[in-house]
Structure 1
Amino acid sequence: MDIGATTLILLVICVSCLLLFLNRKGQKNRGHLPPGPRPLPLLGNLLQLDTKDIARSLLTLSECYGPVFTIHLGSQPWVVLCGYQVMKEALVDQAEEFSARGDLPAVFHFTQGNGIIFSNGEKWKVLRRFALQTLRNFGMGKRSLEERIQEEARCLVQELAQTQAAPFDPTFLISRAVANVICTIVFGDRFNYEDRNFLTLVGLIHQILQLLSSAWGQENQDPLSYFHMETLVMTAHNLFFAGTETVSTTLRYGFLILMKYPEIQAKVQAEIDRVIGQHRSPSVEDRAHMPYTDAVIHEVQRFADIAPMGVPHAVTRDTQFRGFLLTKGTNVMPLLFSVHKDPTQFKDPAMFNPAHFLDERGDFRKHEAFMPFSAGKRICLGEGLARMELFLFFTAILQHFTLTPLTHPEEIDLSPLFSGFETLPHPYEFCAVPR
């Protein structure tokens, strides 16, 4: 072995030892974290995660290390929470301690800590109050907002009718319809589905989502200091991003599921015909009289798990949790996927079954382990809007069309294309056949 090779080997050994030393030194300052797989220098546990299905990889690790464990994304430790009971203890029972937003460098580089979703501390509280009040002023929870969604649902039905039962990919058509609801809130008006600027906006939101799936200081304590252009722009972006892709992806996944199980689609349509009929638009009031349809929509959300890893949290102060000490700022990953697949909460969780949300009499029943919007202080502020949109779009389309696949139902693949920041179904085409 020549001198150059020997020097290189010694250098590698020295660097490795230094990294291990720094890692152990850092761990001493991180409290008493839960156990987890041994991380590699620089890479952490990235090689142990399936990039196409990160949520399932984490669930598999929990079988070895328990419902609370630590993984390293690069050199950064994350405490992963798995299962309903652990999630409730953290996000609900210790809501204040787990209410900070976690640190994702790629996201922070884009948001700079602005907007509702990724802000923290007093800024987050002020912006959240402002956003909730603004949404209420624009019709959240009121008849006016329902009427806007009904109008958009009618426009979507007209667009589907123009396909004349020919095969088409629903991805961007559904995204445009859902995005228009946010446009009516933010801009006060909707856009034509072919508007060039509108198409650019929807396309960019879709690209950002796909990218995610694969700093600034306070001026003073004056709440008005949080209302500057960067914060308001990012807040509007949050509304578009969270309010468009999650709902539209849930609808696309739901339609794919109904084509795989045509008997379920037929039962939903029978309930629509019985309660609503064919001569008026569905309304939110109808939901109370349509337990089966309501259960199907909830089961779509549970089964599809559009946000399987939730949005990252962090602890606001040094926190004792299940015998571990999580120091202030420790990143926490609430694996919502594990709640919806928890066999102690759902019978046969891997199967699509609306009975998960029905009692023995066939009435709709709520389920505490239903957390598609997360839980606790960081629960999605758009939950009410999303629930309204899902019901009105879902029922309006099935009121007028039977969704027909281009292949035999048994051949439909419900596994995700990939599951990271969001779960996305495989691209598909179908025929919207008028009823």
Structure 2
Amino acid sequence: MGILNALPTFFSQWLDATSLFIFLLVFLLAADYIKNRAPKNFPLGPWSLPFVGNIFNIDPLKPHIYMCKVKRYGNIFSLRLGRDKAVVVNGFKMVKEALVNQGDIFADQTAFAMSTLRNFGVGKKTLESTILEESRCLLEAIMEKKGLPFDPHLLLNSAIANIISSVIFGQRFEYNDTQFQKLLDEIFEALYLDGSVWGQLYNAFPTVMKQLPGRHNDIFRNYKKVVAFLTQQIQTHRENWEPSEPRDYVDSYFAEIIKRHNDPEAQFDDENLCYCTLDLIIAGTETTSTTLRWALLYMMKHQQVQEKVHEEINRVIGQARQPSMDDRPNMPYTDAVIHEVQRISNIVPLNLPRLTTRDTTLGGYFIPEGTQIIPNLTSVLFDKNEWETPDSFNPHHFLDASGEFVRKEAFMPFSAGQRICLGENLAKMDLFLFFTSLLQKLTFHSPAGVEPSFDFQVGLTLSPLPFQICASMR
């Protein structure tokens, strides 16, 4: 009897809890709908789930492919990434309008970084000797392999990182420096995770993901170690700093800290110096190193292309001297090969999102302030209206009928406009001088019985899976 008397109370409590749950659910759904309701004349897009948006519609292994496939909405469409509204821009003409015609002005510290890097030789001939000396060290390290198979990732990463290190810290590191190699490994792993599904989930739901276990926590652990290393380097630098004789980027930043110490909005301090330095290392290392790995893969696969590059090097440079940036105008085929590697490897398929700083229009659509704009560079580099054979490796995309190099406006591996990649000028020098230096002395081929694989892994960049390569003296 007591049990029967308790039943109404039990069901009443159960109904109250259920009603409360339903009320909260409806309330949250309504709040989510109201908050994320698209404004008038906002780009259309695929249906999205409440709270999470389109995150689970996107293949984390091939996010750029999804962006190209959503064709029913045209070259500009909207997505919802967790809490944030985003607009994806496809095709050369629309991406050009977004990046060039409506590009944002550089942030203050980016402008400082650009001008300071130029002062220390980035994009100038003054850095050429540093790159050539590093390419000599790289050649020696490869020759020590004596034609046996090896993974070029570590050597290429170290060589390229040493160039930006010479600009930032005024020094290089030996390839067998364990602390330096650990730093590069931690940066590489953090970048990979940052672009993985773990990084995407964290960016969409930072408050929730902070409380959960998962590989996204490795991103912060790795960056913490990297920051500790850079902080130590900066502190050592300060101990030997002579304000009247700046040696490198870090010295110039020290001077800027003192110059702007009364300006609280300038944000020039040791913490920002550390993070600016990290940004420069990433911008100056990861993309160039990855592109060179793709270049070696394509040379292994296309031996006839490699032979033509060898012939042009023999004709223009010979074997008695090192390459020079002055040789580049006289080497249209080699220049075209480098550009085609950059195009087809497509290492930054989705340009880093940027927030609109004000209400604007794009492609006739209204884009409110605070919207993420995601330029889909894949759609530009493989635009059938701009490239004769977009899905094939074809250096003739950058050559005219007489064999002269042709610049293509749709060539956007570094983005475009005022927010162009910080490391572009350095990357151009690195790619030409390292590539020609390597092919001047070496022939690259696959290990016996191994076919080159062009499968990739997705992180912050599209990078080739680890591979083995053989290098023989010419």
TM-score by length of structure 2 reads: 0.80
Instruction: Note if 1:243 corresponds to 2:284.
Output: yes
After TM superposition, the structure 1 = structure 2 runs for residues 89-238 of structure 1, keeping only pairs within 5 Å, are 89-96=97-104, 125-214=107-196, 222=263, 225-238=266-279
**1:7 Cα shift?**
7.7
Work out whether residues 305 and 423 of structure 1, in 8 Å CA contact, stay in contact via their aligned partners in 2: yes
The 1:253/1:5 distance shift into structure 2, 3 A limit, reads farther
| Contact 2:261–2:268 (Cα < 8 Å) also in 1 | no
Preserved contact between residue 315 and residue 330 of structure 1 (Cα < 8 Å): yes
In the aligned structure 2, how far is the partner of 1:15 from the partner of 1:84?
45
Q: 1:388 is paired with a residue of what secondary structure?
A: helix
Structure 2 partner of 1:432: 471
Post-superposition CA distance 1:221-243 (Å, at most 9, x none): 93873211111111110110111
Uncovered stretches (5+) of structure 2, i.e. residues with no partner: 1-9, 197-259
Q: Report the Cα distance in structure 1 between the residues aligned to 2:452 and 2:172, rounded to whole angstroms.
A: 34
1:252 is aligned with what amino acid? R
Aligned to 2:350, the other structure's residue is in SS state coil
What letter is aligned with 1:434?
Answer: M
Distance 2:390 2:359 in 1: 35
Q: Percent identity?
A: 43
Give the whole-Å Cα distance in 2 for the aligned partners of 1:6 and 1:358: 74
Q: Is 1:48–2:57 an aligned residue pair?
A: yes
TM-score, normalising length: structure 1: 0.87
CA distance in 1, matches of 2:446, 2:306: 12
SS of the residue 1:226 aligns to: coil
Structure-2 change in CA distance of 1:284 and 1:223 (3 Å): farther
Q: Whole-Å Cα distance in 2 between the matches of residues 249 and 400 of structure 1?
A: 21
**Residue 182 of structure 1 contacts residue 243 of structure 1 at CA under 8 Å; is this kept in 2?**
yes
Distance in 2, matches of 1:39 and 1:367, equals: 37
* SS of structure 1 residue aligned to 2:276: helix
- Select 1:413's aligned residue among 429, 438, 453: 453
Could you say if the C-alpha distance between residues 73 and 166 of structure 1 is closer, same or farther in structure 2, counting changes exceeding 3 Å?
A: same
Summarize the Cα distance change of 1:29–1:213 in structure 2 as closer, same or farther, 3 Å threshold.
closer
The one of 282, 290, 295 equivalent to 1:254 is 295
Kindly state the Cα deviation for residue 421 of structure 1 after the two structures are TM-superposed.
Answer: 2.8
Deviations 1:4-36 (A, max 9, x none): 998887666545533432232113475542111
Q: Determine if the alignment matches structure 1 residue 60 to structure 2 residue 69.
A: yes
Does structure 1 residue 36 correspond to structure 2 residue 45? yes
Q: Structure 2 CA distance, aligned partners of 1:10 and 1:413?
A: 57
Shift of 1:270: 1.0
Q: Secondary structure at the match of 1:69?
A: strand
Q: Name the structure 2 match of 1:300.
A: 341
Distance (whole Å) between structure 2 residues aligned to residue 266 and residue 363 of structure 1:
18
Residue 416 of structure 1 aligns with an amino acid whose one-letter code is: F
1:132 Cα deviation from its structure 2 partner: 2.0
Alpha-carbon distance, 1:195 to partner: 1.3
Deviation at residue 133 of structure 1 after TM alignment? 2.2
Question: Once the two structures are superposed, what CA deviation does each residue of 1:411-430 show, in whole Å capped at 9, x if it has no partner?
Answer: 42223233x53111111001
Aligned residue for 2:430, secondary structure, equals helix
Over the aligned positions, Cα root-mean-square deviation in angstroms equals 2.3
Secondary structure, counterpart of 1:413 in structure 2 = coil
> Are 2:35 and 1:26 aligned?
yes
- Corresponding residue for residue 76 of structure 1: 84
Q: Deviations over 1:61-106 (max 9, x none)?
A: 2x1221101111123221000110101111111224xx5xxxxxxx
Q: 1:312 aligns with which of 321, 328, 353?
A: 353
| Superposition deviation, residue 337 in structure 1 | 1.1
Distance across 2 between alignment mates of 1:381 and 1:310: 13
Asked if the contact 1:317–1:328 (Cα under 8 Å) also holds between the matched residues in 2, the reply is: yes
* Matches of 1:93 and 1:406, distance apart in 2: 48
Paired residues of 1:313 and 1:334 also in contact (CA < 8 A)? no
Instruction: Report the secondary structure of 1:320's partner residue.
Output: strand
CA–CA separation in structure 1 for the residues paired with 2:448 and 2:264: 56
Distance 1:131 1:348 in 2: 38
Describe how 1:348-387 pairs up with structure 2 within 5 A.
348-387=389-428
Asked if 2 retains the 8 angstrom alpha-carbon contact of 1:309 and 1:421, the reply is: no
Give deviations 1:321-375, integer Å, cap 9, x for gaps: 2232111111111111111011111112111111111111110000000111111
The one-letter code of the counterpart of 1:17 is: V
Contact residue 81 and residue 333 of structure 1 kept, 8 A: yes
Q: What is residue 363 of structure 2 aligned with on the other side?
A: 322
- Give the counterpart letter for 1:184 in structure 2: S
Distance 2:54 2:400 in 1: 42
**Contact 1:44–1:74 (CA<8 Å) still a contact in 2?**
yes
Distance 1:283 1:8, change over 3 A: farther
Q: Give me the whole-angstrom Cα distance separating, in 2, the residues matched to 1:363 and 1:223.
A: 52
Q: Which runs of 5+ in 1 are unaligned?
A: 100-123
| Structure 1 contact 313–331 (Cα < 8 Å) conserved | yes
The number of residue pairs the alignment matches comes to: 401
Matched, 1:397 2:405: no
Shift of 1:407: 5.3
The amino acid of 1:404's aligned partner reads H
8 A contact 1:19–1:41 mirrored in 2: no
The structural deviation recorded for 1:200 is: 1.9
Counterpart for residue 88 of structure 1: 96
Q: In the superposition, relative to structure 1, how do residues 377 and 399 fare at CA in structure 2: closer, same or farther (>3 Å)?
A: same
* Matched position secondary structure for 2:457: strand
